[in-house]
Amino acid sequence: MQNPTSIYIFGASTLGELAHTYLQARYTIIGFVDNDVKKHGTRFLDKPVFAPEDAINQTHIVIASHFATEISAQLRDYGFYNFSVFKAGVAKCLLDLQLPLLDLGRELSRDPEAMIFEDITFSVGGSGILDYALLKMVARRLSPKAYLEIGTWRGESIASIANIVPQCYSISLPDDAITHMDTAGKGFPTTKFSRYFSKNVKNIKHYLTDSTSFDFEKLEVRPNLVYIDGDHSFEGIATDTKNVFNYIDKDNSIVIWHDFKTKDNRYQQITINAIWSVVDKDISDNIFGVDNSMSGIYIPQALQSRFIFQPHDDTLYSYQVSMRNKPNKVD
């Protein structure tokens, strides 16, 4: 599944016209949606204008209106979550939420053992060092029997916790199905270093297949720590999330999503909406942002006492870093 190529714009107005200008080069704009019944059946910028109920299908809707909050609630009332909010000058559609935050700095300061990461490339498209630290901290705190990762690229994240978790599973597309950008923009095909750091680790088992159709019953040990970082389209995130929560023990497992937030601590609306579209309220009420990372996390109530939420404004956490370059060659 790919990111949307066709969209509706909700708002046949000045802001909708601005959104059209920004988005027309990237998407096929089917038409506009508006709550004003006088506009239904007319044309705006030579595109048809639809009533909301006539545009609720599988096509992504971009809200371009000063009433975005109310329209978002309206679409959710329809049971429709495949939408985002247009912000002029912002390449991605983001969402300002007030989710409780897991205080990552405080959590890491509670961990008495220093963290050592053997292989971090800092390449474009990978997770950040604090995302890896989050994974390692949670693995230490939870002591999971098994770890499942959906979407392994070079294998940095799964390899970083393989010495903590007895059994690790990776589900990622086979190399001939990967269409991402060249690694770090240096002309190396993405597949050249696929699973480079994880493929020879004994307790990591790789499944090269589409996670959205994978039979989780194939796993010998049921994971209770899951990292979702695969297909980042609305449909991909929703399907992976739904399948995972249908499989795991929800009361005793932790799930982490990458690209839940941006690097400037704002929430990715497509990710949030995709998750909310497939989980019940008892799950969504226990999903949190993670401060200073790009991750979101589900922690069941039974495990929340092990963690600290709501960062302290009077403390700035810094990290002692020692770096050494390690050239890696393809065999």
Q: Is 330 among the domain residues?
A: no
If asked whether residues 149 and 210 sit together in one domain, one would say yes
If asked whether residues 138 and 263 sit together in one domain, one would say yes
Alpha-carbon gap, residue 128 to 259, rounded angstroms: 10
Q: Evaluate whether 251 touches 300 at the Cβ level (below 8 Å).
A: yes
Q: Is 137 among the domain residues?
A: yes
The pLDDT, as a whole number, for residue 178 is: 58
The pLDDT, as a whole number, for residue 91 is: 39
If asked whether residues 23 and 83 sit together in one domain, one would say yes
Question: Could you report the per-residue pLDDT of 124-153, keeping only the tens digit for each?
Answer: 777 889 999 999 999 999 999 999 999 998
CA dihedral 238→243→246→250, nearest 10 degrees, is -70
If asked whether residues 30 and 106 sit together in one domain, one would say no
The pLDDT, as a whole number, for residue 308 is: 85
If asked whether residues 84 and 116 sit together in one domain, one would say no
Note down the domain range covering 48: 6-91
The pLDDT, as a whole number, for residue 179 is: 53
Of 311, 268, 271, give the one whose Cα is nearest residue 292: 311
If asked whether residues 110 and 77 sit together in one domain, one would say no
Mean pLDDT by 10 residues, the chain (331 residues): 75 91 84 96 96 89 91 91 74 54 90 89 84 96 96 94 96 76 42 87 96 95 96 90 97 96 79 86 90 94 89 82 89 69
Q: Is 217 among the domain residues?
A: yes
Q: Is 331 among the domain residues?
A: no
Alpha-carbon gap, residue 271 to 258, rounded angstroms: 9
If asked whether residues 78 and 117 sit together in one domain, one would say no
Structural domain tally of the chain? 2
If asked whether residues 125 and 243 sit together in one domain, one would say yes
Alpha-carbon gap, residue 48 to 123, rounded angstroms: 43
Question: Could you report the per-residue pLDDT of 78-120, keeping only the tens digit for each?
Answer: 989 888 888 754 434 444 456 788 999 999 998 888 899 999 9
Q: Evaluate whether 253 touches 148 at the Cβ level (below 8 Å).
A: no
List 48's β-bridge partners, or say none: 43
Q: Evaluate whether 100 touches 79 at the Cβ level (below 8 Å).
A: no
Q: Evaluate whether 239 touches 270 at the Cβ level (below 8 Å).
A: no
Specify the CATH number for the domain of residue 45. Answer: 3.40.50.720
Tell me which of 59, 91, 123 is where a domain ends. 91
If asked whether residues 158 and 300 sit together in one domain, one would say yes
The pLDDT, as a whole number, for residue 169 is: 98
**How many Cα atoms within 13 Å fall on the side-chain side of residue 120?**
18
If asked whether residues 33 and 181 sit together in one domain, one would say no
If asked whether residues 174 and 218 sit together in one domain, one would say yes
